[in-house]
Amino acid sequence: MALEPGMLLRMKRIDVVVTGESLEHVIKMFKDAQVRGYTVIKEAGGLGSTGERNPEDYILREPNAVIVVACEETQAEKIVKILQPELKRFGGMCLVSDCEWVTGPAVSY
């Protein structure tokens, strides 16, 4: 791929999956850590440490939420340090990977 210099920024991507009940707590933690941008996907399903989550189950609705963050490495380290102890307490999953951000408005990176 031949792109012009400066079109992509090297970043870290953090994907967090938590129960719907834990979502507000995680968002508060992100705000306290001065995370400037994130995306929330509510009513995610799957199977993991908290059991099976089926957002289409009308009797036992316990959907997960997915939070996606793209940030610089130092911010990613800060997020992982505050999030890891909480994941041990309320369960969930956190993945950190390298990514590239297509430059645009600098508001959230």
Tokens linked to 70: 């793209």
pLDDT digits (tens, 9 = 90+) for 59-104: 556 778 999 999 999 999 999 999 999 888 888 899 999 999 888 8
Question: Can you tell me the distance from the alpha carbon of 43 to that of 53, in angstroms, rounded to the nearest whole number?
Answer: 9
Expressed as residue numbers, the domain containing 87 is 18-63+73-94
15-105-1 Cα angle (round to 5): 70
DSSP element (H, E) containing 13: strand 8-19
- Is 37 inside any structural domain? yes
Considering its fold, how many domains does the chain have in total? Answer: 1
Q: What percent of the chain has pLDDT over 70?
A: 80
pTM: 0.80
Per the prediction, the chain carries an average pLDDT of: 84
- Is 8 inside any structural domain? no
- Is 56 inside any structural domain? yes
